[in-house]
Chains A and B, each alone.
Chain A
C-alpha cells in the first residue's frame, strides 16, 4: 500500500476525534441525561479542554482532506493537542485532589472504580503520549488523506460530529447555567428552566 504510515497517521487523527466525540457524548447523554447527574463547573471546564485538544487533529485532518497539509500545520495541530491536554490535565488533577482524602465518596458515579474526572485525566495523559509518540517519528506519520470517497466522507462525518458536539454542549450548558454568570459549585437542576418558570 502506498504511503502506509501517512494513511495510518490520518486514521489515528480521525480516531482521536472519534474517541473524544464518544467520551463527550457518553458524559452528556448517559450521565447527564440518563442518570441525571448534573456536571459540576470543573467537569464542564474539562469538557472544554477535551475540545481544545481535539481542535488540533481537526486542523490536521481538514487540511489533509483539502491536500493542503504541510509539516508546519501538522506541528501546529499536535501543539494544540499537547497544550490542550496539559490544560485539561491541570483541571482534572485539581478535581482528583479535591476528593483524594480517604473516605471521600467522590463526585458522581464511578466507572470501574474511577470517577469521570480521573478518567478525564487518563485521557489527557493518553493524548500527551499519542502526540509525543508521533513527534518521535518526525514527519513519518504526517497524515495523507485517503482517495476513496467513502473514506473521505467518513472523515468529514467525524469532523462534523465533533463540531455538533461542541454546539450541543453550548446549548445544554446555557440551559444549565441560565442567565447567571457562572454555574453553581454543586448544580442541582437546569437554571434556565427555573428562571423561565418551567420547573421549580
Chain B
C-alpha cells in the first residue's frame, strides 16, 4: 500500500507540472492525501494509555 500511496503522490506532482487544470490538480492531491491518511489510520491500532 505504501508504494501505491507514493505512486499517487507522484501522479499528483506530475499532474501539477504537466496539466494546468485546477480541478484535476486538487482532485489528485485530495486522493493522494486521503490515501496517506487512511494508511496512517490503518497503523493506529490501539488507544494510548495516556491521560492529560
Q: Are B1 and A58 in contact (CB under 8 A)?
A: no
How many residues of B are in contact with the other chain, CB < 8 A? 29
Question: How far is A174 from B13 in the complex, measured between Cα atoms in Å?
Answer: 19
Which range holds the interface residue count of chain A?
35 or more
List residues of chain A with CB within 8 A of the CB of B44. Answer: 94
- The CA of A66 and the CA of B16, in the complex, are separated in Å by 12
A51 to B17, CA, bound (A): 15
Given contacts A101-B50, A163-B13, 14 further A-B contacts (CB under 8 A): A41-B39, A41-B43, A42-B43, A48-B5, A48-B32, A49-B36, A55-B9, A55-B13, A58-B13, A59-B16, A87-B33, A87-B36, A94-B40, A163-B14
Q: Report Cα–Cα, A48/B35, bound state, in Å.
A: 10
Q: Are the C-beta atoms of A76 and B25 separated by less than 8 Å?
A: yes
The 8 Å CB contact of B10, one of A44, A59, A170, is A170
Residue of A nearest to B34 (CB): A87
- Within the complex, what minimum Cβ distance (angstroms) separates B23 from chain A? 10
From A49, A87, A100, B50 is in contact (CB under 8 Å) with A100
B16, A55: Cβ atoms closer than 8 Å: yes
Which residues of A in the span 10-25 have a Cβ within 8 Å of any Cβ on B? none
Instruction: Determine whether the beta carbon of A76 is less than 8 Å from that of B17.
Output: no
Interface contact A174-B25, CB-CB below 8 Å: no
Q: Is the CB of A182 within 8 A of B2?
A: yes
**What residue of chain B has the Cβ atom nearest to residue A79's Cβ?**
B26
**Can you report 8 A-B residue pairs in the complex whose CB atoms are below 8 A from each other?**
A45-B37, A48-B6, A49-B36, A52-B9, A55-B16, A163-B13, A166-B10, A173-B3
